Amino acid sequence: MDRIVLKTPAEIATMERAGAVLHEVMDLLAEQVVSGITTLELDRFAKAELEKRGAIPAFLGLYGFPGTLCTSVNEEVVHGIPGPRALREGDIISIDVGLVKDGYYADMARTLPVGRIDEDSRRLIEVTVEALEIGIECLVPGKRLGDLSAAIQTFVERQGFSVVREYTGHGIGQKLHEEPKVPNYGQAGRGIRWQPGMVICIEPMVNAGVAATRTLDDQWTVVTADGMRSAHAEHTVAVTADGPRVLT
C-alpha cells in the first residue's frame, strides 16, 4: 500500500480554494438539471465553467474516461458516461465532478432531482446526504477509519437501504486517488487512526434495493443489480486538530 500523504496547512488552504471553485460549479450545474437537458449538455457546461475559472477537469481522460462529469441516472450508481440521454421529469441524476487547480485536486458528488420526484427517491437522496454528514462527523483525530465506515453502514441499513461494496472513497491531494481507501461499510475500532493533515473523499453510494452492482458493456457505467435506484454524495474533507473541515 502506498503511504498516506499528510498535507500542510498551506496545502489544505490551496485545496480549499480548489474546493470552493468546484462547489460553485456544482451549484451552477444543479440549476441546469431540468427535464429535456441531455447529460452531454451538462458535461459541456461543466467543462466550460471549470476552464473559465482556471481549473482543469480531473476526470476527462483519466483511465480513459471520456467525460468531464460522471452522470449516473436512476439505477446507475457511478461512472455514467455523458451522452445524448435527455433527463425526464421524475428522474434522479448523480453528478460526480473533480478538478485540478494550482496542482491539487478536489472531488465532489451530488444526487439531484429532475423536477418533481416520488417520495421514495426523495428519501433515498436525503438518507445518502445524511450518511455523508455522519461520515464527516467521524473524521476527527484519534478515531479510526472503521468507525467512519461502520457509522455510514449502520445508518443506511437502519433506513432500509444498502451501501455499495465495490466502490469506496479515497485519499486526495496532488493525485485524485491516494491512500487510504474509505469504504462505506466496516467494523468500528479497526483501521488507521485519523491524523491532522489527512485529506479524504467520503462518498456513500446508497442503493434503494440490494447492494450488488454490475457494469454495463461500455465498461464504465455501474448499475444496481436489481434495477432499483441509487444515490451518491461526496465531499473532500480535511482532518484538522479541531475536527473535520469540508473543502468542497
CATH number for the domain that contains residue 196: 3.90.230.10
In what side-by-side order are the strands of the sheet with 243-246?
Answer: 178-182, 169-171, 199-202, 235-240, 243-246
- pTM for this entry: 0.97
Q: Total domain count for the chain?
A: 1
pLDDT of residue 2: 73
- Is 183 within the bounds of a domain? yes
- Is 4 within the bounds of a domain? no
Length of the chain: 248
- Is 41 within the bounds of a domain? yes
Q: Which amino acid is at 186?
A: G
pLDDT of 240 strictly over 70: yes
Mean pLDDT computed over every residue of the chain: 97
- Is 147 within the bounds of a domain? yes
- Is 75 within the bounds of a domain? yes
Residue corresponding to grid cell 493533515: 197
d(CA 182, CA 1): 14
- Is 114 within the bounds of a domain? yes
pLDDT digits (tens, 9 = 90+) for 145-187: 999 999 999 999 999 999 999 999 999 999 999 999 999 999 9
Plot region of 164 (φ>0 → left; ψ -120 to 50 → alpha; else → beta): beta
Give the structural domain span for 203: 9-246
At 195 the three-state DSSP class reads coil
* Residues 96-131: b if buried by 16+ CB within 10 A, e if exposed: bbbbbbeebbbbbbbbbbbeebeeebebbbebbbbb
- Is 3 within the bounds of a domain? no
